[in-house]
Amino acid sequence: MPPMSIKRIIGVTKAYATRVGSGPFPTELSDSNGEKLQQIGKEVGVTTGRRRRCGWLDLVLLKRAHVINGFTDLALTKLDVLDTFDEIKVAISYQLDGETIKSPPLAVWGRMKVDYQIFKGWQTKISGIRNYNDLPEKCRAFIEYIENYVEVPVTWIGVGEEREALIVR
C-alpha cells in the first residue's frame, strides 16, 4: 500500500498515563490519586495480574508522538475514569537544572521536574453522554486544552466501558 493512500492517522491515548514495568515515568502518581486511577481504570495486567503504574497525561510526550507520526485525529479513551477527581493535571513541560525543556533525552527523565496545567474536575458521571455538547463545561475545557496543545482534534471520546460509550465529533 503506498503511503499516500492513508488518509487518517489516529493517535489513541487514555485521559491519563500508564506504564507497565520499571523505568522512568515523570508524571507517575505514587499517592492515593495513583491508586484511585488504578482502581477505577482497572489498570491491572491481564496475564500477570500486576498493577500498572498510573499518572497524569503527559502532553509533552503526546505532542512528540504527533510530530513523529503525523496524527490527523486523536481518540481519547477512559475519560470517565477522571469523573470523581477534584483536580486533574496534564504535563505541559519539564524542568531540568532550572531550564525548561520540551524534549528531554531518556537519560535525564529521572531528574526532571514536571510542569502541570491544572484543571478543576467535573465531578459528574459522564458514561451515559453521547453528545459532545452535553459533557460538563470543565470536561470540554480539558479536551479542548489537549486539542490546542497537541494541535490535533479529539474526534473520538471514550466515556465508559461499554462499546457504545463513545462520543464521535
18-46 pLDDT, tens digit each: 998 888 899 999 999 999 999 999 999 88
Number of structural domains the chain divides into: 1
Q: What's the confidence (pLDDT) of residue 61?
A: 94
99 three-state secondary structure: strand
C-alpha cell, 140: 470540554
Taking the chain, what is the end-to-end CA distance rounded to the nearest angstrom?
Answer: 28
Give me the domain span that covers residue 60. 3-168
**Is 115 annotated in some ligand binding site?**
no
Q: What's the confidence (pLDDT) of residue 128?
A: 96
**Is 20 annotated in some ligand binding site?**
no
Which among 60, 67, 77, 49 has a CA at the least distance from the CA of 25? 60
Q: What's the confidence (pLDDT) of residue 110?
A: 80
124: pLDDT confidence band, cut at 50, 70 and 90?
very high
**Is 121 annotated in some ligand binding site?**
no
**Is 154 annotated in some ligand binding site?**
no
**Is 134 annotated in some ligand binding site?**
no
**Is 19 annotated in some ligand binding site?**
no
What is the H or E stretch that residue 39 is in?
helix 32-40
60: pLDDT confidence band, cut at 50, 70 and 90?
very high
**Is 34 annotated in some ligand binding site?**
no
**Is 57 annotated in some ligand binding site?**
no
Sequence letter at residue 144: E
158: how many CB neighbours lie within 10 A of its CB? 21
Q: What is the CATH number of the domain that holds 62?
A: 3.90.170.10
Q: Please determine, for residue 106, whether its predicted confidence score (pLDDT) is greater than 80.
A: no
Q: What's the confidence (pLDDT) of residue 142?
A: 99
pLDDT digits (tens, 9 = 90+) for 108-117: 878 889 999 9
Q: What's the confidence (pLDDT) of residue 54?
A: 98
**Is 53 annotated in some ligand binding site?**
no
**Is 52 annotated in some ligand binding site?**
yes
**Is 125 annotated in some ligand binding site?**
no
**Is 23 annotated in some ligand binding site?**
no
The answer to which of 13-22, 85-94, 108-117, 147-156 has the lowest mean pLDDT is 108-117
Average pLDDT estimate for 80-91: 98
**Is 48 annotated in some ligand binding site?**
yes
